[in-house]
Chain A
Amino acid sequence: MPSVMPSIRVKVLFFGRLRELTGLAEEAGELPEGATLAQVFERYAERYPKLAGFRNSMVVSRNQEFAAWDTRVAAGDEIAFLPPVSGG
């Protein structure tokens, strides 16, 4: 029997310069179960190589809370990649 990693569906959002750089505001993503936020980012950095350089000048949120990069994602999560904030 082939071992297939079960996959989960999540929503992925990009804002500010990260949105401009990817040309992507939002998409439905499919990820292997147990993936961390860092691994989600790596997938996008493969697709959009320019993203990689921003890894240390951004934060990530999971379900609208800032999250550590080693947080594991779950089905239905809303994940967002956020540049330094500059409201006010």
Chain B
Amino acid sequence: MTANLQEDKFELVREAIDAEALVRHVRAGQDGAIVTFDGFVRNESHGRKTSYLEYEAYESMALGKMKEIAAQIHEKFAIHRVAIVHRLGRLEIGETSVFIAVSAPHRGAAFDACRFAIDTLKRTVPIWKKEYFADGAVWADGELPPTPPSAKSAS
């Protein structure tokens, strides 16, 4: 299996994500399955009614980390192509914030790779979400990305 990231797609966009176009992008004759993940804005957070969200990113690093995820899933799973797109800026309830599509000859690899991709994205890609409520705003809790060991112990 060869990992060809050139056939994959990674984007940070400020307009609505075109999910159908991404599914078309990963679909090819050699495939038998596509698994997608559609993450969209929920209407509440910890019991508070959400008004809207705002996303920001360290854009160049975020794209680099998205590509690393793609390289990892090509390595771990027998997939064909992957598309990962995250939206930034203000998003309303129900709007898609992240969309991932993975194609593969067989469904198992596509399911596993898609799950791995979204879980890893949420832990390692430098993107932040601020939640706006009727009476204020908070930065979402988030996860601390794993960091390399101390330079002293590194070779």
Contact = CB atoms under 8 A, between A and B. Distances in A.
B144 A70 contact: no
Contacts of B147: 59-60, 66-68
Interface in A66-81: 66-72, 80
B118 A85 contact: no
A64 B98 contact: no
B89 interface: no
B136 interface: no
A57, A70, A80 — which one has the most chain B CB atoms within 10 A of its CB? A70
Contacts of B64: 64
B97 A88 contact: yes
Interface string B118-155: 10011111111110000000011111111111111010
B56 interface: yes
A80 B39 CA distance: 27
Contacts of A72: 151
A17 interface: yes
B148 A66 contact: yes
B58 A13 contact: yes
A51 interface: no
A59 B57 CA distance: 15
A86 B139 contact: yes
Interface of A: 13, 15-17, 57-61, 64, 66-72, 80, 82-88
